[in-house]
Chain A
Amino acid sequence: MTAFDVDPKLYSPLADSHLNVELDTGDMVLNIGPQHPATHGTFRLVVRLDGERVIKADPVIGYMHRGYEKLTEYRTYPQVTTLINRIDWLSSFANEVPFIAAAEQLMGIEAPPRALYIRTILTEMARISTFLLFLGEMGLQVGAITPAFLGFRDREYPLNLIESATGGRFHPNFNRIGGIKDDLPWGWIAECRNTMRKMLDSCDIFEDLVLGNPIFQARTRGIGIIPAELGAAYGVSGSNIRASGVDWDLRRDGEPLLPYNEIDWKVWTHQDGDSYARYWVRLQETRESARMILHLLDQMPSGPIMAKVPRIIKVPQGETYVAAENPLGEMGYYIISKGATGPFRVKIRTASFSNVSIMPWLLQGIYVPDVITVLASLYFILGDIDK
């Protein structure tokens, strides 16, 4: 007698009447957040449910709104650089680059090639450390703890390199208008090569451990599909849109801020557009970034790291928009300058804001447990949404 066989003598008709009546699954409003383990910080999601199925999802953001666009109007350009490190706190270095490039463009200053190479290397390193956290976190959200520990462990290696080069583990504040603050320390390049090889191994581990896992596949395949056209109309960018089959990467297709066209690399896309595809694309991009850094180290030019800049930074009157491919997507700065030491208006176009704005559409009709995996696979940083 198995557990499912019921002895008819013990089988109560009362229980039967209760069990067989279809359960009333009227609307229920479930509030997730603002402090919830599954929301990566202070994200609040109000979902209306019919049973387990989401009828309507309404994300409530702003719990991390710090007023960046207002604060930049009261800061000088070097002070703004310090501040914008903290927009997307996982890839701080990558945040600085488009802003500095925009200011350089308005001032007509050109950073020397070695500085551009070091910027590229550190940007890619920020991408690796950001994605390693994602590769671990995503595993955690489908119920696997081991990838999270692995991600946290391997993330320390690029962070160590960033720290030894810039002095800042999290917020380097290393870019200057016209170049970078310091040259690389002695022995850094050899250490970087070793670490990047380690990162390649680490990507293999993630591929074996997570992507091949049947539970992971069951939880992510065919769930949370973003159609390419709708995604673009929502402004979804970065790995999220590449996972929907759009072959578009600002490192290759945007303004040539950094010398990406001097090295050989690939843009990875996936046709499925689901949570699995987003994980897959980010994994490949992590690997590609490690390869790119190895290439860049081979071709690193010598020379100065700072262009000649005036002692007091005054950006001439003008407007410009510069966007770059951050780990999370397109990050752009529309700077309006009036010739002062600080910007008149900075519109910060952050990637996560647009990536998350598709959520009300994306979460419609899926099951509650999948909400968590879709949230995790979109990969947003709260500071990047809320500014």
Chain B
Amino acid sequence: MGLMTSGALRKGPLKPVGELLNYSRKYSLWMFQWGLACCAIEMGVALAGPRYDVMRLGVIPFPASPRQADLIVISGTVTDKMAPAIRRLYEQMPDPKYVISMGSCANCGGPYWDSYSVTKGIDQVIPVDVYVPGCPPRPEAFIQAIVMLQERIQHEDPADRWQGKGWEPIVVGQ
């Protein structure tokens, strides 16, 4: 742990070790699915549908508990009643952890921008790595989000992640 957080994997003789580590993390993303609304069905199609099949990219959607997950996908409308639960389960995830916000509702409230019970954006509750716009986004957009996140993981320095750097979000399609 100390090795990772010290920044020694960034350069010098241990750089290949850091790259190997990133490469392994990239292709074994254990994903906690937080399916909330319409987007959940599209996420399900992307995961379980034979046509899309995200598992071929090394995303494993099996953990039913956030404690074994590296990635959490918030797909759908987040309500004020739900938001505390999301925060709580996010905090249970081990570091380094990644968040994909899928769909307009999770991004900014979407069509419920003036509702009295909808949280206008999940980024008010937890930090977001990748935003996927769309209402709902197509499964292809979700796959693109996974690919972009994997690129970020490949090129990032684990130390930065631990120190809270490198949070600039990616927006799919931009």
Contacts and interface: CB of A to CB of B under 8 A. Distances in A.
A34 B135 contact: no
Interface in B108-130: 111-112, 114-118
18 contacts: A41-B76, A63-B82, A64-B76, A65-B81, A66-B77, A66-B115, A70-B115, A70-B116, A71-B114, A71-B115, A83-B111, A133-B41, A152-B45, A152-B49, A152-B50, A169-B138, A170-B136, A383-B38
A34 B136 CA distance: 22
Interface of A: 34-35, 37, 41-42, 62-67, 70-71, 74, 82-83, 86, 89-90, 133, 148-149, 152-153, 155-156, 169-171, 382-383
Contacts, number: 82
Interface in B38-69: 38, 40-42, 44-45, 48-51, 64
A112 to B, nearest CB: 30
A170 B79 contact: no
A41 B43 CA distance: 12
B64 A152 contact: no
Contacts of A37: 64
A156 B116 CA distance: 35
B49 A153 contact: yes
A66 B82 contact: no
Contacts of B34: 35
B78 to A, nearest CB: 9
Contact of A66 (B79, B85, B89): B79
B36 A171 contact: no
Give the most central of B111, B118, B135: most A CB within 10 Å: B111
B35 interface: yes
B82 A34 contact: yes
Q: What are the 10 closest A-B residue pairs judged by CB atoms, nearest first? A: A89-B38, A152-B49, A67-B115, A63-B82, A66-B112, A153-B50, A152-B48, A67-B117, A65-B117, A67-B116
B37 interface: yes
B41 to A, nearest CB: 7
A102 to B, nearest CB: 21
A171 B38 CA distance: 9
Nearest to A136: B48
Contacts of B117: 65-67
B118 A66 contact: yes
A42 B36 contact: yes
B61 to A, nearest CB: 10
Contacts of A169: 138
Nearest to A44: B85
B37 A34 contact: no
A375 to B, nearest CB: 15
B47 to A, nearest CB: 9
A274 to B, nearest CB: 27
A149 B38 contact: no
